[in-house]
C-alpha cells in the first residue's frame, strides 16, 4: 500500500465505484492520458492489488432471503484438519464467506438460504457433513444494516 501514490488510489477508488468504467472515462476522472491510465491500471492488476471484477448480485432478488451466521468448532487445529475442512467448505455453494478465526470458534461462515426450511437442508446436507465439525452454532440476520464490498480509500 505504501507504494501507491494519489493517482493509483484515485484509480482504485473509481474502479470500486464502477468496475465497468471505460479507460477514457477513468483517465479523465483521475487526470491522466488514456495511455498512462491504462499502463497504471494494468500494473495494479498484475501486482494483485486489483484481484478481479464481478457483478454484484442481489441475494433477495434471487430468492435467497435469509442469511445465517454460522460458528463452527472443529475437533482440533491440526494443519490436516483445517485443510480438509477448508477444501470441503469451498464446495458448499451456499457459503458466501468463510473465515478462519481466533477465539472461541474455529470458523465463521455467512450462509445464504431461501428460508428456514432451506437452511435446515443446508445444515443437514452440507454443514453437518463437513469434516471434523463437532459444534455448529447458527444465528439468523434480522436485517442487513450495511454491507460494503469496498474499502475506504
Which domains are present in the chain?
A: 6-46 (1.10.10.10), 66-140 (3.30.70.920)
**Which grid coordinates belong to 81?**
484438519
Tens-digit pLDDT profile for residues 19-44: 999 999 999 999 999 999 999 999 99
- 83 or 148: which carries more pLDDT confidence? 83
User: Confidence class of residue 16 from pLDDT cuts 50, 70 and 90?
Assistant: very high
Write a three-state SS string for the chain. Answer: CCCCCHHHHHHHHHHHHCCCCCHHHHHHHHCCCHHHHHHHHHHHHHCCCCCCCCCCCCCCCCCCCEEEEEEEEECCCCHHHHHHHHHHHCCCCCEEEEEECCCCCCEEEEEEECCHHHHHHHHHHHHCCCCCEEEEEEEECCCCCCCCCCCCC
Mean of pLDDT over the chain: 94
**Could you tell me the pTM of the whole model?**
0.81
For range 55-71, the mean pLDDT: 92
Q: Is the pLDDT of residue 1 over 60?
A: no
The pLDDT, as a whole number, for residue 54 is: 87
What is the spatial distance between Cα 117 and Cα 68, in angstroms, rounded to a whole number?
13
Tens-digit pLDDT profile for residues 123-134: 999 999 999 999
Amino acid at each position: 500500500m505504501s507504494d501507491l501514490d494519489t493517482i493509483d488510489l484515485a484509480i482504485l477508488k473509481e474502479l470500486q465505484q464502477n468496475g465497468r468504467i471505460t479507460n477514457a472515462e477513468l483517465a479523465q476522472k483521475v487526470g491522466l492520458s488514456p495511455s498512462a491510465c491504462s499502463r497504471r491500471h494494468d500494473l495494479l492488476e498484475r501486482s494483485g492489488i486489483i484481484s478481479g471484477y464481478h457483478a454484484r448480485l442481489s441475494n433477495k432478488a434471487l430468492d435467497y432471503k435469509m442469511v445465517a451466521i454460522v460458528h463452527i468448532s472443529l475437533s482440533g487445529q491440526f494443519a490436516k484438519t483445517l485443510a480438509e475442512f477448508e477444501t470441503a467448505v469451498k464446495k458448499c455453494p451456499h457459503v458466501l464467506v468463510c473465515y478462519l478465526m481466533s477465539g472461541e470458534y474455529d470458523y465463521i461462515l455467512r450462509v445464504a438460504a431461501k428460508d428456514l426450511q432451506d437452511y435446515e437442508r443446508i445444515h443437514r446436507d452440507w454443514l453437518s457433513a463437513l469434516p471434523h465439525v463437532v459444534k455448529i452454532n447458527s444465528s439468523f440476520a434480522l436485517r442487513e444494516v450495511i454491507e460494503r464490498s469496498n474499502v475506504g480509500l
